[in-house]
Amino acid sequence: MTSPEQTGTGRTGTGAKVSRMHGWAKSIFDLALILLIITIGKSALAEPYYVPSGSMEPTLKIGDELLATKYPYGYSTASLPLFMNIPSTTRILGALPRRGDVVVFRSPADPSQIWVKRVIGLPGDRIAVRHGRVVIDDKPVGLTPKGMGDDEGEDGGLRPVPQFVETLPGGRQHLIFQESTDGPMDDMAEITVPPGRLFVMGDNRDNSDDSRVPVRMGGVGLLPVANLVGRVNVLLGSWDLAAARQPVWTWPSGLRLSRFFSSVK
């Protein structure tokens, strides 16, 4: 026969177990809600990305961390966080970039990879490259010498190369590296950018697999607008990878403090 004390203890133990399960369920729900909010924020607002190559030098350096703002061009499945690799769809609330925008996008060859380039040609533009100089609608873009710049390799080594100010139609200006005028990337027959596509290039013109290079050869080809992730306006920070070859206690010296929260043109 069960005593009242034993019965009471049993009920108390069951209540505590239910209370613990309720607490766990609430914790799981709160965690899921936080993850959902983070995912929505990264999908709809902005997401940071790291620059692993020198194809956008001198504008972006290896080791820069940039912030891609997603809302300027609308949304597609390409806007989802990187780990969510879903076939691209048409954009909602879509808008075309402006010529000269620095954009982040999913690689047409491998959507799990995020690339960054500059928009040079919009739908309907006729684009050619002659002796290293971009030609838009039969008019060569402005190109003004700007001394020498340091082309940084992935090992952190620096190499001096000629630097120019490129002026696109509409007056937007940015720096480029242009060492060669007769290399395999320096001449391209005229093409017309079709609807729903963009012509993009890296600012390091001798070291960029961009719209001059077909997708089948490892380039971007004519970039589908649906692959756009966002626009780059600011750097969050930057760290010189050459510091990684030094003793660990010297690594803070690799921080490029002048690039923290700097604007991208």
Q: Give the residue numbers marked as catalytic.
A: 55, 117
Q: Minimal CA–CA distance to 61: which of 150, 160, 179?
A: 150
Report whether 88 contacts 78 (CB < 8 A).
yes
Backbone angles phi, psi at 191, to 5 degrees: -130, 155
3 state DSSP class of 126? strand
- Taking residue 191's Cβ as centre, other Cβ atoms within 10 Å add up to 16
CA angle (100, 104, 108) in 5-degree steps: 110
How far are the Cα atoms of 17, 40, 165, 228 from residue 103, in angstroms, in the given order? 53, 20, 19, 7
In terms of Cβ atoms closer than 10 Å to its own Cβ (0-12, 13-18, 19+), residue 93 is exposed
Write out the H or E segment, with its range, that includes residue 79: none
CA-based nearest residue to 114, from 15, 232, 250: 232
Beta strands in 2-132 (DSSP E): 46-50, 64-69, 102-106, 114-121, 126-130
* CA-wise closest residue to 229 among 66, 48, 68: 68
As a whole number of angstroms, the distance between CA 85 and CA 257 comes to 34
